[in-house]
Amino acid sequence: MGSNSAKRVAIIGAGPVGLAAAAHALERGLKPVVLESGPRAGEAVRQWSHVRMFSPWEYNVDRAAKALLQDGGWNTPEPTHYPTGAELLAQYLAPLAERTALRDHVQTSSRVMAISRAGYDKVKTKGRETAPFIIRYQNGAGMLSLEADAVIDASGTWSHPNPAGANGLAAIGEDEASDAIAYAMPDVLAKDRARYAGKRVAVLGAGHSAIGTLIDLVRLSDQVPGTQPVWLLRGENPEKAFGGHANDKLPARGELGATFAQLVRDGRLTLQAGFQVTHITKTDAGLRVSAGSACCGRHLVADELIVATGFRPEFSFARELRLSLNPALECPPALAPLIDPNEHSCGTVRPHGARELAQPEPGFYIAGMKSYGRAPTFLMLTGYEQVRSIVADIAGDHEAAERVELELPETGVCSGSPLDDDGAASAGCCGSEPAADAPCCTPQRDTRAAVGSCG
């Protein structure tokens, strides 16, 4: 590779972490090229713009990005205010992508289709590390290619939700019933209100996304008679979903669990525990969601199903690269012991960076929500620290890459207990490690959600 100032860094995804990576690259004299598949930066955040985060502004702004914004006269948001996704876009991501030096480095409507190395397929080794990356992407002009010295994949997982099936596969009939199924966090109190008002709505999942959606469905039931929220829980113990309450160092996150726990105790929603979805069938009476046999096993009938069971990474465009992923979580192997929900559900994974996120393919790094693979926990600040370290490593400043520059808030939920069938670990108390649900959010109003990278 050439000198630091000549190094081109391709960054996949113009979400909070991807834009932060570009800001750090500019700060170090590198040449970032950000490829965003959506029509605008922060497109994934737009999908949950109705959600209020349960981390305040002080935890949502990257240092290098802030410096770029302030150079243009940016008005810093109130540090203690909890922004919605819409506010995050309007006050941070859009100005960063469109009104700073980054505007010349972000290419929207540019979907990465494949990555390889110039003159090298996956098999060839000798001299591989010096060959530039070839990034093939598609935009309105057709299929294009660019070369880069390093690649940071911050493409997130938002567009790849987990299915309803308890075995990791789509439930039988899930695809055929797709018009009555939504994934992640629909805006049940506003944009999607007409779809859910007065309906029996089943919500599958046990993380912050499911909890926030159920809370808003209870509120909708107060406004529209006939609205019936049903919580489908794969595990047997609903209390595992209630979180760290007052022990959470992000109070709004603890508040979310406490609010939900009270609604459950008050019987404001129907709970179906131990419900392992296997079949989904459209009938004249509605959507028949079954656990076991499609015809005669345990089942319920609902008008709508919301699947909030997390997300998974997608690596098809990196097939010609040499990747090493944990076989269970599909994350970088060095990161797996820190985030494996089978082992703990702590609130703050220790800071980590280039060393943990590097791949056998020299110069290729996975960052942001995607770096956590299928693990259900991620904080945006974690992603900012990741890319600060990665960019330092690309620039050759290995001392800075190894240095820890982050202190994360604890959740008050931490456990050595195994993961239950919903992906929720038992509440306990063991110090600090991570928590924030996979899309990173939960509905607006009085409930606030964990912040993740969301692309």
pLDDT digit string (tens) for 140-155? Answer: 999 999 999 999 999 9
Is-contact 304 195, C-beta < 8 A? yes
pLDDT at 361 > cutoff 50: yes
Of 244-253, 258-267, 402-411, least confident by mean pLDDT is: 244-253
pLDDT of 415 strictly over 50: no
Residue 7 token pair = 């190094």
pLDDT at 94: 97
The pLDDT value recorded for residue 350 is 77
Mean pLDDT of the chain: 86
Beta bridge partners of 203: 231, 306
Plot region of 274 (φ>0 → left; ψ -120 to 50 → alpha; else → beta): left
pLDDT at position 264 is 92
**330 vs 313: CA distance, rounded Å:** 7
445 band by pLDDT with thresholds 50, 70 and 90: very low
Q: What percent of the chain has pLDDT over 90?
A: 73
Say if residue 440's pLDDT is above 70.
no
- Give the phi and the psi of residue 58 in degrees, each rounded to 5: -60, -20
In eight-state DSSP terms, residue 59 is G
pLDDT of residue 418: 40
Q: How confident is the model at residue 37 (pLDDT cuts 50, 70, 90)?
A: very high
| pLDDT at residue 267 is higher than 60 | yes
Q: Is the pLDDT of residue 433 over 60?
A: no
E-strand stretches of 43-183? 106-107, 111-117, 133-139, 142-148, 150-153, 181-183
Confidence of residue 239 (pLDDT cuts 50, 70, 90): confident
170, two tokens = 């789509």
| Mean pLDDT in residue range 307-331 | 97
The answer on pLDDT for 414 being more than 80 is: no
pLDDT band at 7 (very low <50, low <70, confident <90, very high): very high
Average pLDDT on 308-313 reads 96
Tell whether the model's pLDDT for residue 348 goes beyond 80. Answer: no
Q: State how far the Cα of 238 lies from the Cα of 347, in Å rounded to an integer.
A: 19
Predicted confidence at residue 253, as pLDDT, reads 62
Helix, strand, or coil (residue 323): coil
CA nearest neighbour of 208 among 77, 5, 22, 51: 51
pLDDT value at 247 more than 60: no
Tell me the mean pLDDT in the region 11-17: 98
pLDDT at 207 over 90: no
Q: 269, 260 in Cβ contact below 8 A? A: no
Mean per-residue pLDDT for 178-206?
97
Q: What is the pLDDT of residues 114-137, one digit of tens each?
A: 999 999 999 999 999 999 999 999
